[in-house]
Amino acid sequence: MIASVLVFVVILVLSIPSAAIFIPLAAITGDVRPLYKVTCFIVRTGYFIAGIRLRTEGREQVPAGRACIFMANHVSNLDPPALISHIPGYTAAFSKRSVFKIPVFGYCLKLGEFIPVDRTGSAITAQESVAAAQRVLEKGRHITTFVEGTRSRDGRLLPFKKGPFYLAMQSGAPCIPVSIHGTETLMAKGKFGIKRGTAHFVFHAPVDPKDYATREELSAAVRASIASGLPEWMRN
């Protein structure tokens, strides 16, 4: 509980003055990078003060100067802020449409060109999300997605969604598999309390969509890469 309070207090205290300065700046100039950088700093600071240690490895494998699609497993609400704040360069991400309705936060996501997604299973909205993500890639910005589409309740890998692999095949952007573990014990699905501890983020070598004939083959390759960086019990 103490860690939860610390994260909330630190992020709140740092966010209010930062929002007052950097949100209007981004809206006026059209340059979201200062807002993005200060947000990542606030996340890292909040986690550190709360006793959450973020350990990353393999980031040197991310190709420089290319927009990539980061594909990670998902075991905790701690994952998205932690991962995004440690991705080299700048990234947008797929996010639930409902979070765009949150005052201020939702507006920041729009400024950052995050892509709203529905869980209705609609083919039309899925195609719209993929098209929006491709436009972001064409601007030279990364895309981040949690390929299971939801958090795993027990930490084990779930089946992957199709959309990210349609995007990869259409855009040709390198896929960067990311293995996440440790956060499932710090803040499990359905829990609100945060515990102190260490979270691990393993960035793997790029997987080139051009090397695969089908979306299914590409998905299998990414899955194998993510699984290789997880404890054996998390591999399905």
pLDDT per residue over 55-87, tens digit each?
999 999 999 999 999 999 999 999 999 999 999
Of 201 and 97, more confident:
201
Q: pLDDT band for position 166 (50/70/90)?
A: very high
Q: Is there a domain that residue 31 lies in?
A: no
How high is the pLDDT of residue 1? 63
Cβ-proximal residues to 180 (8 Å cutoff; 6+ apart), any chain: 72, 73, 74, 75, 79, 83, 199, 200, 201, 202
Alpha-carbon distance 206 to 114, whole Å? 22
Q: pLDDT band for position 196 (50/70/90)?
A: very high
Please state the rounded mean pLDDT for residues 170-190. Answer: 93
Q: Is there a domain that residue 7 lies in?
A: no
The burial of 46, by beta-carbon neighbours within 10 Å (0-12 exposed, 13-18 middle, 19 or more buried), is given as buried
Q: Is there a domain that residue 74 lies in?
A: yes
For strands 197-203 and 175-181, give the pairing.
Answer: antiparallel
pLDDT of residue 123 exceeding 80: no
Whole-number Cα distances in Å, 111 to 29, 170, 195: 11, 25, 32
Q: Is there a domain that residue 9 lies in?
A: no
Tokens 């501890």 found at: 197
How high is the pLDDT of residue 236? 75
β-strand partners of 95: 116
Of 193 and 100, more confident:
100
CATH number at residue 180: 3.40.1130.10
Cβ-proximal residues to 101 (8 Å cutoff; 6+ apart), any chain: none
| pTM of structure | 0.94
Q: pLDDT band for position 121 (50/70/90)?
A: low
How high is the pLDDT of residue 188? 76
Can you give the residue range of the structural domain that contains 177?
55-234
Q: pLDDT band for position 122 (50/70/90)?
A: confident
Q: Is there a domain that residue 41 lies in?
A: no
Q: Is there a domain that residue 117 lies in?
A: yes
pLDDT of residue 230 exceeding 80: yes
pLDDT per residue over 2-47, tens digit each?
777 777 887 888 999 999 999 999 999 999 999 999 999 999 999 9
The total number of structural domains that make up the chain: 1
Q: Is there a domain that residue 225 lies in?
A: yes
